[in-house]
Structure 1
Amino acid sequence: MEKEIYIEDKKSNIFKGAPIYIGVSIFLLILLFLSIGLAVTLGSVDISIKEVYSIIFYKLFNIGQTETLGNGAIHDVVWLIRLPRIILAIAVGVGLSVVGIVMQAIVKNPLADPYILGVSSGASLGATIAVMFGVGSILGSNAIGITGFIGAFIVSILVLVISNIGGRANSIKLLLAGTALSSVCSAFSSFIVYIVDDASKMKTITFWLMGSLAGAKWEEIIFILPIIIIGTIFFITQYRTLNLMLLGDEVSITLGTDLHKYRHVYLIITSLMIGVLVYASGMIGFVGLIIPHIVRMIFGTDHKKIIPIAAILGAIFLIWADVLSRIIIKGTEIPIGILTSIIGSPCFIWLMIKNTYGFGGKN
């Protein structure tokens, strides 16, 4: 039988034992379903709970009259606006949380987030080029998201290439390559904005970079959701290797595992996941940073436990962040990236001050 390898930090593992872990998992799943059920009834437009669920049951099970439930303004608000946003919020919350945990293991840094290796700057550069120069205009309304995805993915591949120059990539070289490329992309983005000097276009790119789920569409969700689900399941199966990454390359080699190829595979998969999320929602910060910290504080650092919990908790968090962004100011919508930063920043500072868990051994 293959030996289980993970790092146990006694002061961080608040909930010990399988029964408690299973109980918390079931509780969070129930909370997720309740969140979906309640969130779909909330919004700037007042619609009764009966009307909301009449439309949902009609669309899912064909229960009710087509004339009253199959079309009209209320139908469009519930089925074409609110529900897609909730499903997209789940996909983004799951994706960012899982990728955050994986990135932190890859670079062995608890401050890492899904965008640390230049992904955000690559997406920003791609989106800036699309808006300012009209590149990708043939793609229609999805031009900004698609070019943002392309930018994020290209930068991720360049990070891998550069970090392998002059020797095999390790966590330090990946961080340095990501930081360098992030600076280059940010500089080019600023330069493009400066030379074009168009206030209306600048407003467009700024709003996209703040993140939003307002553009959620069923056609996109059908494409995005399977990628996020498959990526999450894949990383759950990789928990032993992710646990080894926290121990470092030297220890892992002595245990018979070379982490070099795993880092490459994981970075490509995480880049694909982040790329499709950037395409659908723009840049949403702090979710992939704060959720892993909260989960590790409760369950320790064993990825077998924390990846599923982080996925569910991330989905719940983003559902309610999106609800708040829609209802906190009546008649308008706050970009969700602003809201997650407002919530996430003080929580993260509090966790750093509290310092109740370790990350891969003694800190």
Structure 2
Amino acid sequence: MNITKNKFILLFLCLILLLIASFFLALSYGNAQIPLDSIADIVINHLVYGIKSNDENGALYDIIWLLRMPRIILAICVGAGLSVCGVVMQAIVKNPLADPYILGISSGASLGATAAVLLGIGSTLGENFIGISAFMGALGISFLVLFIANLGGPANSVKLLLAGMALSAICSAFSSFIVYFANNMEGIQTITYWLMGSLAGANWPLLSKLVPLILICIFLLWSQAKILNLMLLGDDTAITLGYNLQIYRQSYLLITSLMIGTIVYASGVLGFVGLLIPHLVRMLIGTDHKYLIPVSALIGASFLIVCDLCCRIILPRAELPIGLLISLIGAPTFIYMMIRKTYSFGSK
């Protein structure tokens, strides 16, 4: 049963408060613990008075403004983006087990990163050539999925899913082929760590491009809540109502692929968020995408902030790959939710 409007507003406000609390908790804790009053002074001095640092708080300013805050904002964007992509992907293919990587986009990103590290492809693109190559791989696979799914007739949810699974297997095979014949142990270690995901590369120039893109894409998808609800009912029902879902599926797939490719560029490959969060939210509020998308975005953002904080403090003077921690948390949680599932997916 879907949530009522009044309950949604109350839940939305609570999630905003949870996000704010997670934000300041992550700012305060780490290898160096910083009091909240010092954080407030630094933020106010920077935003209101334009004071960047001085002799007394120079080191704290660097930790707060140059290291932790960009990283937390990146976690918000990645968590919200992956969660919303998971919601939309599950509606596109009408499959509750779909996530942002079910259509082969993850394997495409992995192939791009593997080719960049071990073969040097894209090295002329600059110091971020690994991320750019992964982005191009993810985006390229999304176009191939659309092309193959449209062969022999219009694309539908089943053809999209099968095309994605086939291309995922092909990309994984090519990645394994490159790794097997590459005589570069350092490169193999680099690509393995990168594919586990990390938010350590966050910086303000990156966020200036990432944040607007993720926000625009999320609001675009949120505006399509009616069509996403219709997708869960099936093509036959949509046709009787005068909607051709083929065009919408292709448009939504391109938008989500753009988001995923950008996220892969910024943080590496992070799985499970787009699978776990939508299921959790459906258990709380139902399947109406008008409420499902914003709630998923907020919970996904808070979830990734907390996960990144744990990765920074679990090991002293070291950082645990965030993808590893998410998998350790997500897999048992998802199994539990499958056993205790109390919602219906789609029209059933």
Q: TM-score range by the shorter chain?
A: over 0.9
The CA deviation string for residues 29-88 of structure 1, in whole angstroms up to 9 with x for no partner, is 111112112211111123333333322222211266842368x43322211110000000
Residue 96 of structure 1 aligns with which residue?
A: 82
Q: Is the 8 A contact 2:31 2:312 kept in 1?
A: yes
Change (3 A) 1:176 1:280: same
Cα distance, 1:330 vs structure 2: 1.3
- Give 3-state SS (helix, strand or coil) of 1:116's partner: coil
Separation in 2, partners of 1:63, 1:117: 46
Structure 1 regions of 5+ residues with no counterpart? Answer: 1-9
TM-score of the superposed pair, with normalisation by structure 2: 0.97
Separation in 1, partners of 2:233, 2:309: 39
Amino acid in structure 2 at the alignment position of 1:219: P
Residue 302 of structure 1 aligns with which residue?
A: 288
Separation in 1, partners of 2:114, 2:23: 34
| Partner residue of 2:274 out of 288, 291, 294 | 288
Separation in 2, partners of 1:28, 1:68: 38
| Partner residue of 2:30 out of 43, 48, 51 | 43
Residue 19 of structure 2 aligns with which residue?
A: 32
- Give 3-state SS (helix, strand or coil) of 1:127's partner: helix
Amino acid in structure 1 at the alignment position of 2:123: S
| Partner residue of 1:333 out of 276, 297, 319 | 319
- Give 3-state SS (helix, strand or coil) of 2:43's partner: helix
Q: Is the 8 A contact 2:77 2:301 kept in 1?
A: yes
Q: Does 1:67 align with 2:50?
A: no
RMSD: 1.4
Residue 4 of structure 1 aligns with which residue?
A: none
Separation in 2, partners of 1:266, 1:350: 30
Separation in 1, partners of 2:320, 2:34: 21
Higher deviation after alignment, 130-139 or 79-88: 130-139
Change (3 A) 1:148 1:65: closer
Q: Is the 8 A contact 2:82 2:100 kept in 1?
A: yes
Residue 186 of structure 2 aligns with which residue?
A: 200
Cα distance, 1:176 vs structure 2: 0.7
Separation in 1, partners of 2:59, 2:323: 28
Structure 2 regions of 5+ residues with no counterpart? Answer: none
Cα distance, 1:131 vs structure 2: 0.2
Q: Is the 8 A contact 1:54 1:64 kept in 2?
A: no
Residue 191 of structure 1 aligns with which residue?
A: 177
| Partner residue of 1:21 out of 2, 5, 8 | 8
Residue 348 of structure 1 aligns with which residue?
A: 334
Residue 158 of structure 1 aligns with which residue?
A: 144
Matching of residues 82-121 of structure 1 within 5 Å: 82-121=68-107
Separation in 2, partners of 1:17, 1:117: 33
Higher deviation after alignment, 186-195 or 27-36: 27-36
